[in-house]
Chain A
Amino acid sequence: MNHCLDDRSLLEICTGDGEPAQRAHLGACLTCARRYRRIEEDLASIVGVLKRPPALPLEARPAIMPLWRWSLAAALVIGAFFCGRLSGLSLSLPQSMMASQQPADYASRLVDENDALADPSYTSSMDDLLTPVDAGPEFTIAGQGQD
C-alpha cells in the first residue's frame, strides 16, 4: 500500500500546516522528500520574484492603442484637414471675387430698398411720425389745470 503524501499535504507541510504523522512520513520517504524539495524550491523562486521591488513603476496598461482608436483618430485628423481646407479657401478669396460671388437677387434687393427710401410718400410718412405730440389729444390729471 502506498502511503506517499499528495501535493496538497506536501504544500501544507511546506507552509507549516502539516500534521506530525505527515512530517514523520516525509522524514522516512525519499520520494516524498524529493517532491517536497521541489515544491519548496518552486515556492522560494516564485516568492523571490514577487518580493523583488520593481525599478520602474509597475503597469499593466496596454502597450499600444487598439487599432480602432488609431483608425478613428486618423479619420478625425483627415476630416479636420479637409474641413480646414474648404473653409480656408472661401476665406482666402480676394474681396472683388467675394463681391462677384454674391447672389444677383441680393444686389437687386439692395437697389429696391434704396428706391424705397428715396420715395416721396415714404419720406412724408416718416414726417408724420416725427410730428410733435401736442397735435394729439391732451391728457390732464384730474383736479389739476381746470379753473
Chain B
Amino acid sequence: MASDRREEMAAKSQVWSEYERLHAAHQARIVGLCRLLLRDNEEAQDVAQEVFLRAFEQLRTQRIPEVWEAWLVRVAVNACRDRQRSAWWKRRNRNVEISDLEAERGLWSTEDQASDREQRARIWASLAKLRTKQREVFVLRCVEGWSTEETAMFLSISAGSVKTHLFRAVRHLRQTLEQK
C-alpha cells in the first residue's frame, strides 16, 4: 500500500519535472510565435498558457509526442486560429485599425530610434493585414525557420501551397518597405 503510494508520488514528480523542463525549453518560443500570429502580447501569453496546459495533459496521460517542439507549434497554431475565430475576437478587432500611432504605443522598445519606429510600425501593420494562412506560413517559414515540408505539415496544406502563400506574404510585406 505504502509502496503504491510512493510509486504514485514518484510518477507525479516525474511528470512535473518533465513539464518544467519542457516549459523552460519552449515557453519563450511559443509565446513569440503566438505574439506574431495574434499581434497581441497578452493574448499570446494566454494562448501559450493553454498550449502548455495541453502539454501537461499529454504528459499526465502518458501520450508523449515524438517531437515536442513540433507538437507545441502545431497546437499553438491551432489555438491561435481558434482564438481568432471566436466571436469575441472578431468583435474586438472590428474597431481596431493598427495605425502608426497605436503601433508606436505598444510595439517598440525604448532603444528604438524614431526613424526606425515608423518602419517597424509599417511592418507590423502590414503583417496584421496579411491573410491568416499567409501570416502563418510567413511566421513559421521565415521567422521561426521551419522548412517548407514541416510548415506544410503544421498547417495541413501542401508544400506548393506553402510556397504560394509565402510568396504572396513576402510580396505584400516588401511593398510596405518600399513605401518609404
Contacts and interface: CB of A to CB of B under 8 A. Distances in A.
Contacts of B142: 15, 43, 46-47
B12 to A, nearest CB: 34
A43 B174 CA distance: 8
B167 interface: yes
Interface in A50-83: 50-63, 66
Interface stretch (B50-58, B60-68, B73-81, B98-106): B98-106
Interface string A22-61: 0000000000000000010011011101111111111111
A54 B106 contact: yes
Interface string B15-38: 000000000000000001001100
Q: Which label, helix, strand, loop or mixed, suits the secondary structure of the B interface? A: helix
A42 to B, nearest CB: 5
B179 interface: no
Contacts of B127: 50
B119 interface: yes
B101 A58 contact: no
Interface residues of A, number: 29
A59 B96 CA distance: 10
Specify which of B39, B95, B109, B142 lies most central, judged by the most chain A CB atoms within 10 Å of its CB.
B142
B37 to A, nearest CB: 11
Contacts, number: 97
Q: Which label, helix, strand, loop or mixed, suits the secondary structure of the A interface? A: loop
A108 to B, nearest CB: 61
B163 interface: yes
B148 A17 contact: yes
A119 B123 CA distance: 95
A50 B41 contact: no
B32 A53 contact: yes
B130 to A, nearest CB: 11
B124 A49 contact: yes
Contact of A59 (B106, B119, B163, B166): B106
B95 to A, nearest CB: 5
Contacts of A112: none
A8 to B, nearest CB: 5
A59 B42 contact: yes
Interface of B: 32, 35-36, 39-42, 44, 92-93, 95-99, 101-102, 105-110, 119-120, 123-124, 127-128, 139, 141-143, 147-148, 163, 166-167, 170-171, 173-174, 177
Pairs of residues from A and B, 3 with the lowest C-beta to C-beta distance, nearest first: A55-B109, A58-B41, A57-B41
